[in-house]
Amino acid sequence: MYSTGNKRVRGSYFVSTISISLVLVVVGMLVFILLNAKMVSDHVKRNIGFSVIVKDGTKEAEIQRVQKLLDMQPFVYSSEYITKAAAAEAFKKEMGEDFEAILGTNPLLPSIEIKLNPEYANSDSLRMIEKSLGRFDVIQEVYYQKSMVESINDNIRRISLLFLVVGAALVLISFTLIRNTIHLAVYSQRFLIKTMQLVGAKPFFICRPFVAGSMWRGFFGALIANAVLLGVIFFAQKNVGDVVDIIHLNTILTMVGFVLLSGVLLSFFSAWFSVYNYLKRDINDLYF
């Protein structure tokens, strides 16, 4: 009988630990996605830029001087000087026609292609930048697709809001599942809890072993969850690493720390409140 009871208790603890780890995997993935959302957003915004069209006949040395001045500005992430010849070659590849042979000349102008830092990739900042660049005499025009910039920023805002709402709902559900899992583990010991109270044991003395055990299960569950998460992340990196680097030390450490802290703290509070719940109830209520 005693051996069978011990096996059942150990079995319930094992199931509890695995259940906690599975829930923490969901929490960890959510945290990882939210932490990388800004990185992905910044990656998209860095592809937003504009073309600084230079006046025809401007000397290359002057163009390069302007490019260096632009590189010093806080809104510039990167810049690239496109010569008239390079612009013509790109146009030929895109259109499949040799317009120089038809026209007998190259009407395209040299330009400096600017990629923006993420915080400046919006319509208001671009209007201010366009105005400030008017002081350069060699610049003929600043060109960018206003509708595309607004569309990208609107989509990023919508997706960010959706992530926050879905994330909050998933976290709430996950935390509720952990609480219910631990509550079920404590439920199997409810008569022992009440017996200890009836013989005069203090609430803290009664709670301590249950809370300590739950915290250890939460800790081991978090370790299992982190092992699964790191395996998934490193596997995903091999498949998408050429597109975007998803492994950053600070992000990984934050995710691992959050999962560990969530597992331990939620197990602590869940066990504490579950034991106290049975301490407050009448012994006859324990049968229902």
What is the rounded CA–CA span in Å between residue 12 and residue 6?
A: 10
Max CA-CA distance within the chain?
A: 105
The predicted-structure confidence for 200-252, as pLDDT tens digits, reads as follows: 777 777 778 878 888 888 899 899 999 999 988 888 777 765 545 666 778 88
Among 132, 149, 166, give the residue marking a domain's end.
149
Q: What is the pTM of this model?
A: 0.61
* Whether 219 and 78 share a structural domain: no
> Across residues 13-42, what is the average pLDDT?
80
* Whether 27 and 71 share a structural domain: no
More confident residue, 182 or 99: 182
* Whether 39 and 167 share a structural domain: yes
* Whether 182 and 283 share a structural domain: yes
More confident residue, 282 or 199: 199
Task: Please enumerate in sequence order all residues whose Cβ is within 8 A of that of 207, keeping only pairs 6 or more positions apart, or say none.
Answer: 271, 272, 275, 276
* Whether 203 and 229 share a structural domain: yes
DSSP letter at 55 equals: P
pLDDT for res 1: 39
* Whether 24 and 73 share a structural domain: no
* Whether 20 and 101 share a structural domain: no
The predicted-structure confidence for 103-130, as pLDDT tens digits, reads as follows: 667 777 888 888 988 888 888 888 888 8
pLDDT for res 227: 93
* Whether 60 and 36 share a structural domain: no
Q: How many domains does the chain have?
A: 2
Dihedral angle over CA of 180, 181, 187, 193, nearest 10: -100
Task: Please enumerate in sequence order all residues whose Cβ is within 8 A of that of 49, keeping only pairs 6 or more positions apart, or say none.
Answer: 113, 114, 115, 116, 144
The tokens for 196 are 């200890």
The tokens for 125 are 């900042």
Among 149, 170, 197, give the residue marking a domain's end.
149
> Across residues 85-93, what is the average pLDDT?
79
pLDDT for res 257: 93
Among 119, 149, 179, give the residue marking a domain's end.
149
Range of the domain at 110: 47-149
* Whether 272 and 180 share a structural domain: yes
* Whether 140 and 239 share a structural domain: no
Q: How confident is the model at residue 100 (pLDDT cuts 50, 70, 90)?
A: low
* Whether 198 and 243 share a structural domain: yes
